[in-house]
Amino acid sequence: MRAWIWAVALALVCAGGAAHAQGYPARAIRLIVPFPPGGPNDVLGRVVAQKLTEQMGQQVVVDNRGGAGGIIGAELAARANPDGYTLLFGGTASMSINPILHKKLGYDPVADFAAVSLVGTAPSLLSLHPSLPVKNVKELIDAAKAKPGQLTFASSGVGTAPHLAGELFNTMAGVTLVHVPYRGGGPAFVDLLAGQVAMYFAGISAALPFVKEGKLRGIAITGAQRSAVMPEMPTIAESGLPGYEVSNWYAIVTAVATPKPIIARLHGELVKALAADDVKKRFLDLGTDPIGSDPAQLAAYIRSEIPKWTKVIRAAGMKTD
């Protein structure tokens, strides 16, 4: 008897979720970008929001909630009603790094969110000052082993993607590249171009003009596959360090109890948006490969990122609160 009651209750819940999805969206959708306006998260989020607005017939409004490295916006999204009307433009910092660096975080990237779709990945370009006589990854590893603790790499700050890319390189290659943190990518580029630091795991779109002018030498891409932005450039993994992979990634997630039919609708719309020529062009112009995924794939990816970076952060001796 009890089993019968539970079966009926489950059927009613599923029917209610399906009925809810049929009329979705009936009003504007909020897309929380947990960073200030102007950065890559904001720009890419607005590209996605505009295309979803065109497709779904309801306004998708970007809500910038910057602060604390993405924590404020992510916490707000985690506490939102699970009705599909509040989405989070999540990514590397908010979903992978913050849970490791901040033990008292107000959200759990796995337990508090329902994955919708990966949106894109932005690998970096390992960029060297021309004075460093290195042409590929194998030569860089050999040089670093010959001069332990003498080669430096810049970053835009402790715990940022360029910093973690360098620390992962150290861990996997068994070398000691010395980290030199800056307050942002601009100052890091200034010192790299001046030869004050030897290398920088830089965003492709930012580094490419300097590489074309001969002011920097790009030797490899940090992603798992070659980037559509620079298809001729090999990856670090294929150039001497198998298994290496670092990319800034972007994804859409929402509150964990959101009905599955709504998740399915959002996923379908995102896949359609990412296939649009104008969206693909805009992403590639920003050094980002437009890549979708199904919800299960995204959820598995988020789960895999946390232990990977936990190991790197501990090996680097980075402080956590």
Q: Is 290 helix (H, G, I), strand (E, B) or coil?
A: strand
Q: Which CATH number fits domain 124-239: 3.60.15.10, 3.40.50.720, 3.90.600.10, 3.40.190.10?
A: 3.40.190.10
* Rama region for 149: left / alpha / beta (φ>0; ψ in -120 to 50; rest): left
> With contact defined as beta carbons under 8 Å apart, do 120 and 204 qualify?
no
Q: Average model confidence (pLDDT) for the chain?
A: 92
- pTM of the complete model: 0.87
Look at residue 316 in the predicted model and tell me its pLDDT.
Answer: 87
Counting every residue written for the chain, the total comes to 321
Look at residue 230 in the predicted model and tell me its pLDDT.
Answer: 93
Look at residue 220 in the predicted model and tell me its pLDDT.
Answer: 98
| pLDDT tens string 272-311 | 999 999 999 999 999 999 999 999 999 999 999 999 999 9
| pLDDT tens string 207-238 | 999 999 999 999 999 999 999 999 999 999 99
Alpha-carbon distance of 97 to 119, in angstroms, equals 18
Q: Considering the domain 2-122+248-316, what is its CATH architecture? A: 3-Layer(aba) Sandwich (3.40)
Look at residue 176 in the predicted model and tell me its pLDDT.
Answer: 96
**Where in the sequence of the chain do the CATH 3.40.190.150 domains occur?**
2-122+248-316
Look at residue 10 in the predicted model and tell me its pLDDT.
Answer: 42
| pLDDT tens string 74-126 | 999 999 999 999 999 999 999 999 999 888 899 999 999 999 999 999 999 99
| pLDDT tens string 252-263 | 999 999 999 999
**Where in the sequence of the chain do the CATH 3.40.190.10 domains occur?**
124-239
Task: Report, in angstroms and rounded to the nearest whole number, the Rg of the chain calculated over CA atoms.
Answer: 21
| pLDDT tens string 114-159 | 999 999 999 999 999 999 999 999 999 999 999 999 999 999 888 8
Alpha-carbon distance of 307 to 209, in angstroms, equals 35
Examine the pLDDT at 163 and tell me if it is beyond 50: yes
% residues pLDDT > 90 (the chain):
83
Here the tokens at position 201 are 């795991």
| pLDDT tens string 14-62 | 444 455 567 999 999 999 999 999 988 999 999 999 999 999 999 999 9
> With contact defined as beta carbons under 8 Å apart, do 96 and 250 qualify?
no
Axis crossing angle, helix 260-275 with helix 40-56, rounded to the nearest 10? 110
